[in-house]
Structure formats: structure tokens, C-alpha cells
Chain A
Amino acid sequence: MSSSRPLTPASPKEQLINPSRPGVPRYGCTHLEQFFTRSPQKTQTLIKYYKQCLKVVFNDAPSLRHTSKTANDQVHTTVKPNFLCLQCNVIANAKNRMEHGDDKNHRLFVESRSGTLYCQMCDDYVWDPTFEDLRTRKYGTGSFTLKKRKHSELFEDNDPTFITTNTTEAACRVSGLRGIYNMGATCYMSVILQSIVHNPLLRNFYLAEGHQSNECEIKWCMSCAIDHMFQEFYASDPFNTTGFLASGILGSFYIHKRVAFDQLAEPREQDAHEFFQYITEELHEINCGEKGRDGDLSPVKKTKMSGEKGCGCIIHQTFYGKLQSKKTCLNCNDININTEPFLDLSLGLEALSNKESKLTTVSLQQCLKKYFEPEGCEYTCHNCETRKATKQLSIKTLPNVLCIQLKRFKQFDGLQSKVDTKVTFPLKLEMLPYTNRAKKDDASENFELARSCMYDLQSVVVHVGSMDTGHYYSYSRVGNQWFKFNDHNVNLASKSQVLSEQAFLLFYVIQSLA
């Protein structure tokens, strides 16, 4: 629930309570202040207890924290929130919390659904900066420190004075919300650019001078153009609320178009997904420094090379995960496993909608399940040389930003048509069932693992119209608010509006980052 908040920088370890920052009160409430200011030891134990409570809340089975004992030793289990006493190991429900407080003089509780601190003297939930910091970190990454994921260097602690002296703070008005003018059938480009602008990883990368445009030697560099776009969106004149002119990006696009995307570089309506693939590949090469060096290699070769090496560029960090395909020979049960990186998941809709023709709507989870189901394939076994085998895909490494394409364009007998099946998609998506770890420990419920596989919906690209002609627009989330981006128009959007759309591309951001 708190996932939309950016993580606050970690404080040094020896410091128990977060140092006071300007504009933020040091303690959540006056009573907590009393607890914290009594003695360092007591503060330490308090924080230790809070961490334990959080572990119970987030890691253990829910039955534990939802079971409480009433005064006469009756065991009482509820679905509703319970309260864990911060000062002893009693779990109380909303009714006997008061009794416990009077009884033992314990006044601080931890709510069992979100780990929030409840102060009985305020009779209110308290959002103490120190505890809140612990809670969001625990909730997001599963640990109290930040060093869990590779990319955490993006959030690395910097000296705040260094930051303030060397950067200009964005004006209050800057929200990063601008439209992008349609340059004549370029809405396919606009929607992808919008999803990039609102991608937290790429935003941090570019706003942290990840690509230094003034030192870039590539002419018409796409990365420079994207950098410029981020500057325009987040740093330029705050009163410029009109659309953004993406001509620079278009220019780079035409100049650096690739053999593989030859069809794309024409002033017609194009497939947004193809453009997404193009732009990620382009940015990847620029960020790896490969661009220009081996310009003669075919793009296929290049991706292969970089895939083997395990490229560490921002694009790979952001979008790439690893798929594992397991081929099992039906004859001798020989298993062949290989992994390959993937940029996105392209889910077919046809199979589902055809098979159960009564079904008018399909859920995203059904599509995913279908995609990761075992299927027959042509494969020559090493041992017995039979040709029958099953192949099952699973995700070995989850990407930070998961791009899902719903294949709405199909070819049938040479005729292209659009699949209009409605696909419901959730705001929060759990990917654990589709990873290769899912089967191993489905018995032992690992809540922490499941939570680390949670994704939040970030952007939705919608296509309206037919196969031949149509229009793209997109939705993106800023904080908890959704916005609709239709070329240069930006509007507020409700969640229900977003969820009822016929999505074409979905961008999910892993929860620990969002």
C-alpha cells in the first residue's frame, strides 16, 4: 500500500533514529518521542521489537498474527486487522487491545495487515519517520537494508549537501506530465515514450545524468534525445504545460533505423510494440558503448553477444529478465534446460478465446498460465533421437519492469485481423507462479518470496481501431493517480477507467521499486 512512496535514503547503521530532516518532524507523535528520548538502550529494544513485529507481519503465515487470545484464554482468529503489542509478545484484537493497554501499561501496537504503528494514547495510527522507513523497506525488499537488488546503486546514499549544491530542485509545479504532439501518425511512438518517461528506473537513470549528452560523441544519439526528453519533462520551464516536441527522437529514429526494423521507419501507423523493441535495443547499444563500434554486425548477432555476456546497461537492468525453457523428451525423459534473456512476454489471446468460445473476457493470469504451460514441441533428443518432447517455459529471473504484450494482431489465412478479446488485468500482479521456483516450494508458503514477485501496474498502452488503422493512447500512474495520455492531451483517469481498457501493452514495475 505504501509502495508508491519513494524509499527514503538509508541512515547510517549506528544511528537508530533517523536524523531529523528539514520539513519533517523528528518523531511521529509526542508519546513516541517520550519512548525514544528515555535512553538509547530502550530505543534500541523498541526498534528491535518493531523489526520483529514486522517480520511476523510480513514473513510469517497470516494465521499467526490473526489469532489472538481473549481474556479468558479463548483463541480467536479473525480476518480483520489485529494488533501486535510492541512491548511484549501479545497479540490483541481491536477489542481487547484496550484491556491489554490498561493492564500492562503498553501503549504501542503494530497493526497486523500493514505493520503500521498504532499509538493508543493518540488513539490513532502514527507515521513515525524512523519506523515508517523500516516498514516501507521491509515491505518492499524484504530486508531492513537496501542492498538487495542489483540496481540499488541507483538509490545510493549521497551526501545531501552535495546534492543540494549541485542540482537545481525541480519547481513545485513540475510533475512530469506533458503530452507529446502527434507528428503525423506517430502515436505509436508517443505511447512508448510516455511509458519510458514514467518508468521509475529510466527516469532515475536519466535524471541522474546517466547519459551525459554533452560528452556523447554519437551523432543523432537516441539516448541524447531521450535525455533531452527527460529534461523537458522534469526540469525545463515549469509553466510549459503544452505538449512535448519529440522531433529529436523521431530524427534519431530515422537516422539510426535498423535493418531489422526497416518497416518501422516509415511515416505510417506502426506497431508500438515494435517501436518499443527498437528503442530498447538502440538504447542498450548506446549505453553499452557498442554503438558505432560494430555497426556492421547484424542486430541479431549483437543481441546474442550481449545476451551471453549479461549486459549491465540500464535497459537490461530495467527490462530484461531470463526465461528458462525446459525440454523434456517424452521417450527417455531426458531434460534439456537452457535460458535466454527476454525483453517482454508476448501473450497470445487466440488460443484462449477460441478454446472456450463462450468466454468473452480473459484474465491476464489465464494468459500467463497458458503461456507457461507445457506444450509439445519439435525437438530431437540427444539420447534416443525421438522427436517428441514437451517444452515448458518458466521465468528464471524476473525483470524490474515487466513488459507484457497482448497479441491483438493475428494473421489468419493471410488476412490480418485484430483480436478484440477483453483481457482483465490487475493493478498488482504476482509473478511467483510463473517462475521456476514456484513448483519447488509451493508447499511451504514463502510470503517473502511471493512479495518480492509482486508487480505494480505502471503504464498501459491501448490500441483502438482496426488492424489497418487506429490510434494508440496510454495511461500512466504517477503516485496513486492515473493519467491518460492521448497525444498532447493529458487527463485525469480513474482506476476503473484504466482497468476497463482493452490493453495492448502492459508495463508492470516490481513492487520493491515502485
Chain B
Amino acid sequence: MSADEISESVGLAPLSADGPCTSMQQLTVQVLEDVLYNIVHDICLRTHREEKIARANSAAIAVEKKAELLRQNSPDEDSDTGEARTVKTDMAAYINGESILLKNPLTAVNEILCPKCSLTRLLYPIDGKGARKPDHPLDHYCKARPFIDKLDHDIYGQTFKPEGPGRGKRKADMVETKVQTEDPKTTPPPDAPRQNIAFPHAKCQNCNSHIPIRRMNRHMMRCIGGGGRGAAKNANQALQNGNGNGSRGGSQATSRNGTPAPGSQTNGRGSPNKRSMEDGWDSESPVKKKKASTKKTAAAKLKAPSMKKSSSQHSASKLSFESRLPNSDDDDGPGNDDNGDGEYDSTIAVEPKKKTLPKIKLTTKKKVDALGLGIAVSGGMKLKEKKWKYGTGNKPAVPPDVIKIKKTEKSEAGRASPDSSRTMSSSPPE
């Protein structure tokens, strides 16, 4: 190739000074150079294309915007002469409904406008690598912002603790706070009240209960039936019988607002809790259920229209189930709390059972009940915390629960077959 020019060109790699270069050497160097040139050429051309098209379009958008403004300001001429009028900016002209460039947009256009909202695009991230402070307040710019590249932050500037290698520890890598992109702060101390719950709760469609997202998989396996084929069949049957109408039908009678789990603050719980959860669910339920169901149905009906899918709606019958799960993780926001005293009870009960210490649970229940009525209206985090403390702190032995447990098992077994069966087997309280 271009052998005739080789002599003129300066090689990338210095040709050996010792002896005369063979033509093959020269050729090799030349070809290598050309190939490198091509790579750079392609990259430049690609960037050039993106940039120039964006700028040309921005010029068109700007002139169209101006034309639109003019037309609005002088509505009289609009119908007749509006079409023929020419609007000009220093970059482009708008003639007969067409925008035409007047200059090379690469030199003439400085701002890139968003084709959708015709606001200026922010060209630099506002945080992290390569960040620049914008000249104008952020409202001035289009909402599509450059993504943020910052350690421990995601592309929207939300923070999370760095994860360990691989899976990471369960609770260690939770998102602590969601930092608004407008005012990035450092992570607030973990004790601070959470406004945005990092790990939300999601609704199980089968039983309509709200489960912390990290527990969803386990829950669903139990609720719908994982493992064996029989379980799936059961679940399907249940569906067809109308039990599983939950998510789509939006069953009001069973629906409840979010479970406020008192114990939620403790993020880092070991696996033993999970196992215990099953146990808990049997034992706690009976008394509470009754209360809960009556109160809740009323509450639920009132609230039902306003509720969003994500936040609320639990089936009363499966309270116990749900409640355990939330306990172990985080609570939902205070908004969910208000409807039920019963919920509290149930949730509380669940937690203690994890460790197969029925006494604790019982005590918590009682206290909760007592508290619950009064507190229900005020609702919210404080209550939960109190309860939680009670539950953990006191270990008075009041074992009336055994009886309750038995009852509950029976009663619940009827309702949700797969769950109950498993729980029974796994949970021996005392």
C-alpha cells in the first residue's frame, strides 16, 4: 500500500537507525499507522456525528420555539401570514414550517436543547467524576441529566454502602438514604429517622400481604408453594377457588394497610429469625386476628380507594404471616400504621417467636394490646419503637400462649394450606 509515500511519513515507532530499513519494515510501520489513524478517525467521526446532529437539532428547536412565541404574541396574523413568515435566529431560519440552518452548527451553537421539552441539556454531571457546577438553577435544565459516576453512588446520585465481594452480607449493603440529586449530602447517620426506606415492601399477590422485598422469595415459595409439584397444584386450586384474587381483584374485605413492624429497626438479623418466622406465625394469630379483622375491615374500606397497590392491603387472615417478615426487616412508613392495633400485636408476637421464646412474645402482645388501642390513632414509628423495646427488654414468663398457638394452627391450617403445613412442622413452640 501507499508505498510511494512511505519515505515522507514519520513512523510511529522509530525505525531502526542502525541499518537501512527494508521496504517490508517501512510498509509494516505505515500500515500500522494507517490502521491507528482509522481507529481514531472512526471514533472522532462517531462523536462528531452525535454532537453535530444534536447541535443542528438544537438550532432548529430554538428557532421553532421562537417562531411559536411570535405566533402566540401576534395571533391576528397567525392564520393568514403566519405560514409565510420567516423567523430567524443567528443559527437558523424558520421558513414555511421548515427550519433551515444558516451556519455550521458546530461553530454556531453552544447549547444543546432537549427535543422533548426544549430546555437546555445539562452537559456535565452535577456530582462525582467530571462534575461541574451548573450556571443556572437546576430548573433551568432538562430533566435528562448526565449520569453520575461516583464511588458508592449510583447513576442518579443515590448512595449505598459499598457491597462486599459477591453477594455481600445481607444487611450490610443496604441503601441507607436516598440522596436527592439536587443537594447531595453524605449519608446521614444510621440512627436518623428514615424518610425513604431503602428496601421497600412489596405485596405478595397470592396472599396480599406486604413483605419486605428481601424476603419475597422465601415468602412466595411458602405462600405459593415452591419445591414440590403438589404445592403448586394446591396454589393453583386456591387461585381458581377465588382465594388468590388478591392483587388484581383488590379484595377489600381482607385488605389491610401496611404492616407496621415494631422491631424493624434492627437491620442485621441472622438467618435464625427467618426460620423462626414460620413458628411465630402460627402462635400469634388467634386473638389478634379477630380483633384485627374487625377493625381492619372497617379501616380498609375507608382507605381502600386511596390506597396504592404498593403500600398497603394485607389480608387479615394472613396478618401473622406478613407481620413477621416485616419485623425482621424495615417498617413501612408511618402512614400505614394507623389502621390497626391488631396489626401491631400480631407483628410483635411474630418477632419474639423467632427464638422460640414464647414468653417474650406473650408479654409483648399484652403490652401492645394495651398500648395499641390508645396509640393507634397517633400511630407511627414511636409506637413501634416502644413496643419493640418492651418486647425485647422484658422477659416475663407468661405462658398462656400455648393454647393459643394450638388454636391458631388449626384455624390457619384451613386457610392457607401450604403455609400452615410447613409452619407446623417447623415450629415447635416450647
Contact = CB atoms under 8 A, between A and B. Distances in A.
A247 B31 contact: no
A143 to B, nearest CB: 22
B167 A469 contact: yes
Given A77-B2, A267-B226, A184 B216 contact: yes
A241 B221 contact: no
B402 interface: no
Interface string B30-45: 0100110110011001
Given A30-B103, A254-B220, A265 B226 contact: yes
A33 to B, nearest CB: 6
Which of B37, B99, B227 has the most CB atoms of chain A within a 10 A radius of its CB?
B99
B106 A124 contact: yes
Interface residues of A, number: 75
B232 A81 contact: no
A277 interface: no
Interface in B143-177: 143-145, 147-149, 154-156, 158, 160, 163, 165-168, 175
A265 B226 CA distance: 5
Contacts of B362: none
A184 B215 contact: yes
A27 B101 contact: yes
A28 B158 contact: no
Interface string A454-472: 0000000000110001110
A127 B215 CA distance: 52
Contact of B227 (A76, A77, A266): A266
A248 B155 contact: no
B45 A492 contact: no
B4 A251 contact: no
Contacts of B175: 242, 488
A257 to B, nearest CB: 6
A245 interface: yes
B200 interface: yes
Interface stretch (B10-18, B50-58, B132-140): B50-58
Contacts of B31: 79
B221 A265 contact: yes
A71 interface: no
B220 A238 contact: no
B213 A25 contact: no
A113 B221 contact: no
Interface string A245-256: 101101100110
A177 interface: yes
A124 B51 CA distance: 13
B417 interface: no
Contacts of B203: 247
A251 B104 contact: no
Contacts of B143: 171-173, 238
B4 A183 contact: no
A255 B102 contact: no
Nearest to A126: B52
Contacts of A486: 163
A464 B166 contact: yes
Contacts of B156: 241, 490
B97 interface: yes
A116 B148 CA distance: 33
B40 to A, nearest CB: 11
Interface stretch (A16-24, A151-159, A297-305, A399-407): A16-24
Contact of A181 (B42, B145, B200, B232): B200
B142 A172 contact: yes
Contacts of B41: 80-81, 113
Contacts of B100: 25-27, 30, 33
Contact of A1 (B42, B114, B148): B42
B232 A113 contact: no
Contacts of B59: 25
A122 B107 CA distance: 11
Contacts of B247: 248
Contacts of B64: 22-23
A254 B232 CA distance: 8
A254 B225 contact: yes
Contacts of B227: 265-266
A186 interface: yes
A488 to B, nearest CB: 7
Contacts of A425: none
A140 interface: no
B378 interface: no
A172 B217 contact: no
A259 interface: yes
B42 A114 contact: yes
Interface string A213-255: 0000001100000000000000000100110010110110011
A183 B218 CA distance: 8
A78 B196 CA distance: 61
A26 B98 contact: yes
A465 B221 contact: no
A22 B38 CA distance: 35
Contacts of B226: 254, 265-267
Interface string A478-504: 001101001011111000000000000
Interface in B165-210: 165-168, 175, 178, 196, 199-200, 202-206
Interface in A106-123: 111, 113-114, 116, 122
Given A113-B42, A242-B158, A247-B205, A169 B217 contact: no
B304 interface: no
A464 B92 CA distance: 53
Contact of B144 (A173, A182, A255, A266): A173
B82 interface: no
Given A80-B37, A471-B166, A25 B239 contact: no
A179 interface: yes
Contacts of A248: 205, 247
A262 interface: yes
B45 A1 contact: yes
A262 B227 CA distance: 7
B353 to A, nearest CB: 20
A236 B1 CA distance: 57
Interface string A21-58: 01111111110010000000000000000000000000
Nearest to B238: A255
B217 A186 contact: yes
B216 A79 contact: no
Nearest to B106: A124
A187 B225 CA distance: 20
A26 B214 CA distance: 53
Given A27-B100, A27-B101, A489-B154, 17 more contacts: A23-B57, A25-B57, A25-B99, A25-B105, A28-B56, A74-B4, A78-B1, A78-B2, A79-B38, A111-B45, A114-B45, A124-B104, A184-B216, A248-B247, A254-B232, A266-B227, A464-B166
12 contacts: A25-B60, A26-B100, A33-B101, A171-B116, A247-B213, A247-B220, A265-B221, A265-B232, A266-B221, A267-B221, A490-B154, A491-B149
